[in-house]
Amino acid sequence: MGSIFTSYEYYYAWNKINDTDKVSNGIAALLTMIKGAFSKERVVAILRDFVYYSDDAADETAIVARYPQFFAANKMFENIKRHMRPEGDGKGGTYFGATGCGKTYTMLFLSRLLGLRDQDTFANPTMVIITDREDLDRQTSELFVASKRYLHDDNVRSIGSRQDLQDALSADATGAESGGVLLTTIQKFCESTGLLSNRSNIICISDEAHRTQTGVGSKLKRTEEGVYTSFGFAKYLRDSFPSATYCGFTGTPIDETIAVFGEIVDSYTMKESSDDGITVRIAYEPRLARVILSDEQAREIQKYYDKWTEDGSNPDQVEESKKAMSEMRRVLGHPDRLKKLAKDIVAHYEAFTAQKPEIVQKAMIVCADRALAFRLLKEIVALRPDWNVPRRAEDEAALTKPELEKLAPLAKINLVATRDKDDVKELYDLCGTKDYRKMLDKQFKNENSNFRIAVVVDMWITGFDVRSLAVMYIDKPLQKHTLIQTISRVNRVFDGKDMGLVVDYIGIKQDLLEAVKKYGGPQESPVDEIAISLSVFRNHLALIDELLYDFKATKFFTGKPLERLRCLDAAAEDVQISKEMESRFMNLSCKLKAAYEICFPSGELTETETAKAQFYLAIRAIIYKQTKGDVPDAEIMNRVVEKMVQEAITCTGIENIVNADEPEDLFSDEFMKQLDEVKLPITKFNALLKLLRKAISGYGKVNKVKAIEFDTRLRAVVENYNNRDKLVFTSEVVADFINGLSEELVKILSDLQSDKTSFEALGITYVEKAFFDILVKVRDDHAFSYPDEKCIVLAKEIKALVDDKAQFADWSTRADIKNQLNMDLTVLLYKNGYPPEWDEEVFEKVLEQAEKFKRYGD
């Protein structure tokens, strides 16, 4: 369905007769269009109110409402009428429309209905269209201001300032007639705005009603000067129009949206929008592994997400969230990571655009903050200097003179961000003025412009429509409605564009799945990743098959329960026979696991693929449990295999030897018996290694110097284990080699246990023993003579000195007390004949140990 002026790609099906019907496709869609759009009453309603022409004579485009816009505008109209004050509660309702489905036109259609229909109820109402960002306000204003003839109202205007807002409604006090459509940002409403109109025929329509437009409650703000009560812009808006009716439009409604504007009146989800061809589908490509520098960085990123999940929505935790984000920026801003990120984006974008060189495919790079965006831009320009050369178009010769006149000379890649007075000069100049950013906005939307890649932080990631935007690179933590709003920038229909692509460099997948589940619709996800994941899954399954080619796994698939358990144990042992094989298996199985999580629920895997994957993931779980901790794969295995893994781990004896919740008498008869019962050498080694690490970590809290010594010995054993690939193994000698390393671990454990109780033989306390070990360590490192007996005496005096200073609760944070401790310790060492050239080293170690005692208690 369309007009005679409509391009073919914008024709659409009218897939419902009534809004509550199910979507019809194929030949059935023809019947729904006949009954739903061309019945007598319906076609009259469409022709009367739902065909739009701009006031601009040069614009011959005819806009015919789509069926979701038609139903939404009519249902919102009726709901506003029911809830209008003074009889109603003033909550006109919420429209939940997928980002990119044409909500701005739906607001325009609704405004016409409110202005022209049922005037006995509305009495020439004033519509106030409210956004929360200048770029969104500008985009909305351009449409409405050019629609005066369609709205039958000459008083359609964009409000430029707070004074302009007051002037526009000041006539209310004199009783002037109402009417008009005013477009403004919510930030223009503040405490000083006050009452503007008490009329009840004012309809406030809020776009993006999930953000600043829901803040009607109060918040406490604590400063050094006192505690203050502050309010959001939405509260001041309602103070200005206390009798108005408020309705909200959003693609991502949150609880506050519904509480402020009323229940969802109508919805049109991302899934429905992409199925109807109103938006294109979104594909997801994870590339975090290509830019991460270490496991530590991955853990830092995950730690930030965990913190955000726990605290992010709680306004009382804002400062904690800022601290967490500071840590995240440190990870994201690592110079080597930025270089890898720039290199990967350049390679990816060039390969992506090369697939369809005839199609304009613009890109957006979303960064965590302005400083990171600026640094990344410089890294990219360093790789592709030509991208920084200003041009009007990539091929100016291919354009006509009128087309070229609309273009400004710009680099291929540009930063889009606001200025800050504290910016370095280069960044300050690069961000430019407000007019400069308006120019960038206009040029990026022009398909002919040389401006192809925008580097952004907060600007343009919501409410910004560029049809040719095909790929988005995300390097910023995003969640919930902000994530959906951001990725939806790439879902606009454009000639030759099959889909929009989201490239993930930060690990948003889980948040994306949760957000899509909440906002995407009740059916399947509109984000295509099953086909990609199936390919990844089968590729990695084949690689692991090849890796374990010599292992006979028949018993796992056909044997009895005990045989299957033993097969799992043997497989885990076999995988760890060399460090190279273990590392390769864990790496491959990690990627297999990620793909399996996506593919298994889809039903696309065969029974054989499922069984083999669960076998490999069970092996991974056993190794993970032995070497690192809790099993990570339980949620993706069926209950039989999950139970089997736990039983396999238990039957090896690891659970009895290493129990994180209970203290263990390391050399009791019971312990040694349990240790002897572990017959698998690598399994036994891993158990002892885990236990020893825990013991050393605990000892480090009370005696750091000795803990470091034991840790050095442990690292030497681990290095031998990790270098086992250099030895020429036969299966018969593996056990002897690994058991030899296990005996070394047992010896370290024995020595550690003896050292922990050695203070008794010295006639001192364990606290004094820690200071004694410091004195002996410094003495031995620098090879000077100082008897143990004198070290004992001195350690006792150091303990008394530290106790004297530690009587102040804040001693460890006060520079004056620490300086006094340093001075007193220097005098004490001198009086006892301890060589003065090592005073500072002794002080630093004593202070560190004293702080550990303070932190962990006696």
Report mean pLDDT in 10-residue bins for the chain, 858 residues.
74 82 72 86 92 82 89 95 92 85 91 92 92 80 92 90 77 59 87 84 82 52 46 81 90 71 85 78 74 57 53 40 54 83 91 85 91 93 95 90 92 92 87 90 92 91 83 83 77 82 78 62 46 79 89 83 79 84 88 76 71 86 71 38 43 37 44 57 70 78 82 78 57 62 77 82 85 88 87 87 75 77 82 80 80 65
Helix and strand tally (H, E) in the chain?
36, 18
Cα–Cα–Cα angle for 547, 549, 551, rounded to 5 degrees: 110
Evaluate the CA torsion angle 355, 357, 358, 363 in order and state its sign. Answer: positive
Contact 456, 363 (CB under 8 A): no
**β-bridge partners, 284:** 502
Evaluate the CA torsion angle 177, 178, 184, 185 in order and state its sign. Answer: positive
Give phi and psi for 128, each to the nearest 5.
-115, 110
Residue 410: its pLDDT value, please?
94
Q: What is the pTM of this model?
A: 0.53
Query: Is residue 735 packed enough to be buried (19+ CB in 10 Å), middle (13-18) or exposed (0-12)?
Result: middle
Q: Give how far the C-alpha of residue 83 lies from the chain's centroid of Cα atoms, to the nearest Å.
A: 38
Contact 438, 395 (CB under 8 A): no
Residue 849: its pLDDT value, please?
79
Residue 165: its pLDDT value, please?
78
The string over 446-476, giving b where at least 16 C-beta atoms fall within 10 Å of a residue's C-beta and e elsewhere, is bebbbbbbbbbbbbbbbbbbbbbbbbbbbbb
Kindly state the tokens that stand for 326. 């500071």
Helix or strand run (H / E) with residue 499? strand 499-504
Q: List the beta strands (DSSP E) in 243-354.
A: 245-250, 264-268, 281-286
Whole-angstrom distance, CA of residue 132 vs CA of residue 148: 23
Q: At a CB cut-off of 8 Å and minimum separation 6, what does 385 contact?
A: none
Whole-angstrom distance, CA of residue 477 vs CA of residue 307: 12
Amino acid at residue number 65: A
Amino acid at residue number 486: T
Distance in Å from the first CA to the final CA of the chain: 80
648: how many CB neighbours lie within 10 A of its CB? Answer: 23
Contact 272, 12 (CB under 8 A): no
Q: At a CB cut-off of 8 Å and minimum separation 6, what does 744 contact?
A: 717
